[in-house]
Amino acid sequence: MTYFIDTNVFLRVLIREDQKMFDQSKTFLEAVKKNKFDAVTSTIVISEIVWTLGSYYRFSKKEVLRSVRGILNLGGLKVIDDYDLRKSLTIYESKKCKYIDAVIAGMPRIQSGDWTIVSYDKEFDKLGVERVAPPC
């Protein structure tokens, strides 16, 4: 099984607002680093992290770059760019969800069940895809 890591898992480690989520996310990402799990994320997740850290959490550009480089250098993690925007628009049109979530849910390997989304965002549960909290 391959896990697709959503934005909020990375943010829980970078922000550390909730100790339980921090611990779960950190343990999971450490397991990814040790190749205990096959894991991917996407360019759109990286974009959302950049925006959230800079705009919402007011990280400096230097802090944002350091954080994102840390993610990109995480051993065992692949960053992919494989979207089906037509499927994403269909999901976005037919479901009450954020556009970014529709793009992620519309990815071919998520649609086929090859990848499971790792996220605290329960909105994915309404989109007909498999989602779990960080396993560990």
Q: Residue 29: which residues within 8 A CB-CB, separation 6 or more?
A: 5, 9, 10, 13, 74
Q: What pLDDT is recorded for position 55? A: 97
Whole-model pTM above 0.85? yes
Q: What pLDDT is recorded for position 81? A: 93
Beta strands in the chain (DSSP E): 2-5, 38-42, 77-80, 115-118, 131-132
Q: What pLDDT is recorded for position 136? A: 77
Q: What pLDDT is recorded for position 52? A: 98
Joined tokens for residue 1 = 């099984």
Task: Name all domains of the chain by residue range, CATH numbers in brackets.
Answer: 2-132 (3.40.50.1010)
Low-confidence ranges of the chain (pLDDT < 70): none
